[in-house]
Amino acid sequence: MTKPEVVIVKPKPKVEVVMCIYKTSCNLLKPIVQRIFRQNIAISTNCINMAAVSDTNLPGTNNLQPQPFKYFLVLDFEATCENGRTIVPQEIIEFPVLKINAVTLQTESVFHQYVQPKVNQQLTPFCTELTGIIQDMVDGQPYIEEVLEKFHTWLEENDLLNPENKFIFVTCGDWDLKTMLTSQLRYFGINRAPYFNKWINIKKPCSHHTNEYPKGMMAMLKKLDLTHEGRHHSGIDDCKNIGRILTELLRRGVVFKPTGKL
């Protein structure tokens, strides 16, 4: 008498079982199986889409909160200056802006332009020592009117004038947009674009988070355990460091709101 043959049947994955049933000719079960199969596929697709945009899948972004803005434009002007006295008119000589995505925290685009001063065209030794900007870097560069036009074009190219892509400027203090730009536009009779009328002075949300009002950028970096990179008072390097302060506060769950307006 021969031994009965033992057949081990391994259960197949759920999807294969569903597919197996789906392929049967049972007219009674077929509509139900089809509906279940479609629902499973829809759920799987939705999970994939959510994972693609989820903040928690990005390194160090677990505490990110929804923000009222899609983009932050980090801005830090450098201007003509002299040791111990005020130059009249003070004029912007470096115009840098970083476009930072509020969800990914990535810098998606950079606007950077040196500006030739109109009135006090020769930079002082103090100005060069402070900012690192030498005379050759501003000679032959566009005046402020053309730079503002170039910046507006950059906003258009980055689709930032689309109302759906809400943005706000981020500065270290109120000087850049409240004092410097305002005084120069007034002096030369240049119209001010409305998008310059609101900004975030990053010192204020930083102070709310740390319970200590910072004196400046270097103090914020230290308080947040961030190292300074580049040259202090280089406009573009300051923008990068302010951007690092911004993204660190975003990672810590800070929600940003306008702090200054005209």
List Cα–Cα distances, 231 to 131, 235, 250, in angstroms: 8, 9, 24
Residue among 96, 261, 73, 100 nearest 168 (CA)? 73
In degrees and rounded to multiples of 5, residue 92 shows phi and psi of -65, 130
Q: Which residues contact 120 (CB under 8 A, 6 or more apart)?
A: 80, 87, 89, 91
DSSP of 6-60: P---PPPPHHHHHHHHHTS--TTTHHHHHHHHHHHHHHHHHHHHHHHH-GGGSTT
Which of 5, 78, 146, 232 is catalytic? The answer is 78
* Residue 115 three-state SS: coil
Query: Quick check: is 209 catalytic?
Result: no
Residue among 183, 173, 196, 192 nearest 73 (CA)? 196
Query: Quick check: is 212 catalytic?
Result: no
Within 10 angstroms of residue 33's Cβ, the number of other Cβ atoms is 18
Which of 91, 94, 233, 248 is catalytic? The answer is 233
| DSSP letter assigned to residue 226 | -
The number of residues making up the chain comes to: 262
Supply 178's token pair. 């409240």
Note if the bond before 89 is cis, omega within 30 degrees. yes
Strand partners, 23: none
Q: What residues are annotated to the active site?
A: 78, 233
